[in-house]
A and B are shown apart, each in its own frame.
Chain A
Amino acid sequence: MTLLRVLSLALALAAAASPARSQEAQALPEYVVKAGFLFNFAKYVEWPADAFEKADSPITIGIVGADPFGDGLEKTLKNKTVRNRTFVVLRFPERADLQRCHILFIPRTERENLPAILKQIEAWPTLTVGEDEGFSRAGGTTNILIEKEKPRLEVNPDAAEKARLTIDPKLLKVAAIVRSGK
């Protein structure tokens, strides 16, 4: 009984997108979790050498369209480094504004523009992170889904390969592998 309770408590803690379940869940809203995940992805992904100018060039995280994080992302990434690289957040409210970046978060609000966006960044070594059903099958590299108040990951290794990214097998292990649909 104790075990179950402890486990359910642990699960509850992990479930950031379930504000109704507990006080702590409210403290971890969906985009706080997702901001954390963005940071975590940086750890499990290796970019090709030409993706950075210098050894300590920052990792750039771009958000296309409407920003769902607010200042949450900056808060999460504040004082954080991965392999001695700091983080820089770039916002591209319009698809046309898109610039080269290492991680590009594509919110579900851009579902319509997704193929165009993917097309637009095709040649860049960019890790695309989505939050919409079918994102990975559509050609997105990683997808964060919330199912039953629990986060679920999808990874498209083909897309990663296309973007010349090396994804840590440990990440592959915790994520569902999704191939690009034809």
Chain B
Amino acid sequence: MGAKLRLQDRPIRVKLRAIVLLISGLAMTGACTVFVAYQWFSARNGMAHRMEVMANIVGDQATAALEFDQAAQAAKILGSLKVEQQIMFAVLYDRQGRIFSSYVRDGVDASEIRARPGADGRTVSGYDIQVFHPLQSGGERIGTIALRTDLPELRQRLLFSLIVALAVLLGAAGAVVYLSQRLGGVITEPVLRLAQAVEKLSTERDYSIRVEESGGDEVGLLIQGFNDMLAQIQARDVELAKGRDELEKRVQDRTRALEVEISERKATEGLLQEKDARLTEAQEIARMGSWEWTPASQRVAWSDEVFRLSGLMPGKFGGRLDDFVNNAHPEDRGVLRAALEAAPRTRQPLSIDYRIIRPDGAVRSLHAHGKAILDDAGAVLRVVGTLQDVTERKEADRAIQDLNRELEARMKDLATVNKELEGFSYSVSHDLRAPLRAIDGFSRMLLEDCSERLDDEGRRYLQIIISNTHKMGQLIDDLLAFSRMGRKSLEATSLDMSKLARSVFAELRDQHPDRAIEARIDDLPEGRGDPAMFRQVFVNLISNAIKYSRGRNPAIIEIGGRTDPRETVYWIRDNGVGFEMDYAHKLFGVFQRLHTSQEFEGTGVGLALVQRIIQRHGGRVWAEAKPGVGATFYFTQAKEAAESFGAA
């Protein structure tokens, strides 16, 4: 079997011939079988019919012999059947069914003759035909004639039919082979050409060959397609060659580029290693470790510093998220796990403090910070973060908080004390007024009503008493104003500083009609605050300037302002006595005076009040001076403060 070629592997021509042969062979065999069978049956039927006719004729001939008991004649008549070779025997039965006469062909066994006739009619089986035919005479039955044949003719005809069929079959097969060879060429020739071309193509790789086209049938289309394909391959080869050259060039270029890149990368790698080392070092110095969690694999990687922070040997860490979480203080594990697991989900930075218990039993606070790293598609690759020991900071924080709490408590105490003090000073000032008024009143009455009883010395003393009560009254008023300042709520409106300054100056100028005072008031930047309070500031500072420039002729008072990025600065300058800058820090204290009240009257409250007002508006106040030249007082308003202090 193995050596024998299967039909599949045979050439198409052979296949075609086999198929045509098979089909036509089947058809012819079928037709021949039908033909032979038809021949056979019709011949046998014809033969049977002929036997009957013969029996009829011979029987008719034999009736007289039978009727007149002429056995010899009957034998003669039956003997005439000898010419019919296929008849084995003929028997004449008389009226009673007895054998009257018979004819038996030479060599036939007479024992097959039936002693009595069978039913009328013919019996056909195989090559055997037996006929029983009734003999009639004068309208009555006088006997039966029997004929039996073994049909050698039929055999011959069958044989002849078979030979004819075989001849037709062979002839047809020959014709089929011949025709299929001649006509099959129409199909196989182009296929063979195609096959040869394909073989040549596969052995020589010559894509320039073409197969001769043949017709427009499927094979023709195949050849056309094949030729087209070859043409395309050729075209593609050319392009491929072109592309290859280009590719080669590009590969060379790329190789060069890669070489450069590789050398760069090596350098980078070196840098990276260096940086890694530095990072480890930095982590060690900063006592900050780093970690990395890959949610897909549930693996957690710790840097060396994390192990140091945890007091764990690197081998003691399982490297799973659970190990990370279980390293925490049992009370903190829940929040740590929640925070870690939320990071890849929410993609929000993770920041959490938690505690660990080191193997030596020390409880340390750690701060974990981290964030999810996403790939280009936005999927979470891993979560990376830092871990820092914040135990000391936590403790410091706690200390600061304790301090703050203490401070707050003290502030509260202080505020209470302050309030009490303010209340006290107010009531003292207020209560002091009454005796003062009494002293003043009775001193005046003494001076007016008992003037003649006093000498000049006495009257001068009384004047001094009255003058001092006035001073004391002024002092009490100032103290009341100052203490009020602590309680009073601020009113915030925009202020036209120029207008305010001018009106205050004009008011104060009128109190000194005998003096030559020159005022230079610029256009001041707009301010914001309580109008009454800022009027008080200008009153105090301008009156100071007028006061300390007494003796100058003329006294020059400049009022100016400028806007800085952060604050607005206003100033009031005089050409008065000035002061030593060494004492500048004492200027704004209550009851602090650089001059005696003999030199310049005053209570020592004015500048303290100014400072208090400016500070409440979020500003600063200071002074610059030179003895004998003059002094400049500055105050500012912070921009943010100017906008927002009203809410304070």
Residues of A near any B CB (own CB < 8 A) = 2-3, 6-7, 9-11, 13-16, 33, 37, 40, 42-44, 81-83, 150-151, 153, 168, 170-171, 173-175
In the assembled complex, the Cα of A81 lies from the Cα of B61 at a distance in Å of 22
In the assembled complex, the Cα of A40 lies from the Cα of B65 at a distance in Å of 11
Q: List 15 A-B contacts (CB under 8 A).
A: A10-B101, A13-B94, A37-B68, A40-B67, A40-B68, A40-B137, A43-B67, A43-B138, A81-B139, A82-B138, A83-B139, A168-B64, A173-B61, A173-B77, A175-B68
Q: Is the CB of B67 within 8 A of A7?
A: no
A35 CB → nearest B CB, Å: 13
Which chain B residues border A6 with CB–CB below 8 Å? Answer: 99, 102, 113, 115
Residues of B near any A CB (own CB < 8 A) = 60-61, 63-65, 67-71, 73, 77, 94, 98-102, 104, 110-111, 113, 115, 137-139
Which chain B residues border A33 with CB–CB below 8 Å? Answer: 69
Interface of B is mostly: mixed
In the assembled complex, the Cα of A43 lies from the Cα of B138 at a distance in Å of 6
A168 CB → nearest B CB, Å: 7
A80 CB → nearest B CB, Å: 8
Q: Is the CB of A11 within 8 A of B71?
A: yes
Q: Is the CB of A44 within 8 A of B110?
A: no
Which chain B residues border A151 with CB–CB below 8 Å? Answer: 68-70
In the assembled complex, the Cα of A44 lies from the Cα of B71 at a distance in Å of 18
A15 CB → nearest B CB, Å: 8
Please count the residue pairs between chain A and chain B whose beta carbons lie under 8 angstroms apart in the complex.
70
Which chain A residues border B60 with CB–CB below 8 Å? Answer: 170
Knowing A83-B138, A170-B63, the reply to whether A7 touches B68 (Cβ < 8 A) is no
Q: Is the CB of A170 within 8 A of B64?
A: yes
In the assembled complex, the Cα of A15 lies from the Cα of B71 at a distance in Å of 10
Which chain A residues border B111 with CB–CB below 8 Å? Answer: 2
Which residue in chain A gives the minimum CB-CB distance to B96? A13
In the assembled complex, the Cα of A31 lies from the Cα of B100 at a distance in Å of 21
Which chain B residues border A174 with CB–CB below 8 Å? Answer: 64-65, 68, 70, 73
Which chain B residues border A175 with CB–CB below 8 Å? Answer: 68
Q: Is the CB of B110 within 8 A of A14?
A: no
Knowing A3-B104, A82-B138, the reply to whether A171 touches B94 (Cβ < 8 A) is no
Q: Is the CB of B138 within 8 A of A42?
A: yes
Which chain A residues border B98 with CB–CB below 8 Å? Answer: 9-10, 13
In the assembled complex, the Cα of A175 lies from the Cα of B68 at a distance in Å of 9
Knowing A43-B138, A81-B139, the reply to whether A170 touches B99 (Cβ < 8 A) is no
A134 CB → nearest B CB, Å: 20
Knowing A10-B99, A81-B139, the reply to whether A2 touches B110 (Cβ < 8 A) is yes
Q: Of residues B64, B98, B111, which shows the largest number of chain A Cβ atoms within 10 Å of its Cβ?
A: B64
Partner of B69, one of A3, A82, A150, A170: A150
B98 CB → nearest A CB, Å: 6
In the assembled complex, the Cα of A173 lies from the Cα of B77 at a distance in Å of 10
Which 4 A-B pairs have CB atoms at the shortest separation, nearest pair first?
A170-B64, A43-B138, A14-B69, A174-B70
Which residue in chain B gives the minimum CB-CB distance to A171? B64
Knowing A2-B111, A170-B61, the reply to whether A7 touches B102 (Cβ < 8 A) is yes
Which residue in chain A gives the minimum CB-CB distance to B101? A10
A110 CB → nearest B CB, Å: 23
In the assembled complex, the Cα of A43 lies from the Cα of B136 at a distance in Å of 11
Which residue in chain B gives the minimum CB-CB distance to A43? B138
In the assembled complex, the Cα of A10 lies from the Cα of B99 at a distance in Å of 6
17 additional A-B pairs beyond A43-B67, A153-B68, A173-B77, beta carbons within 8 Å, are: A6-B99, A6-B113, A7-B99, A9-B98, A9-B99, A10-B98, A10-B101, A13-B98, A37-B68, A40-B68, A42-B138, A44-B64, A150-B71, A151-B68, A153-B70, A173-B61, A174-B64
B260 CB → nearest A CB, Å: 127
Q: Is the CB of A14 within 8 A of B102?
A: no
Q: Of residues A10, A82, A151, which shows the largest number of chain B Cβ atoms within 10 Å of its Cβ?
A: A10
Which chain A residues border B71 with CB–CB below 8 Å? Answer: 10-11, 14, 150
B143 CB → nearest A CB, Å: 12
Which chain A residues border B63 with CB–CB below 8 Å? Answer: 170
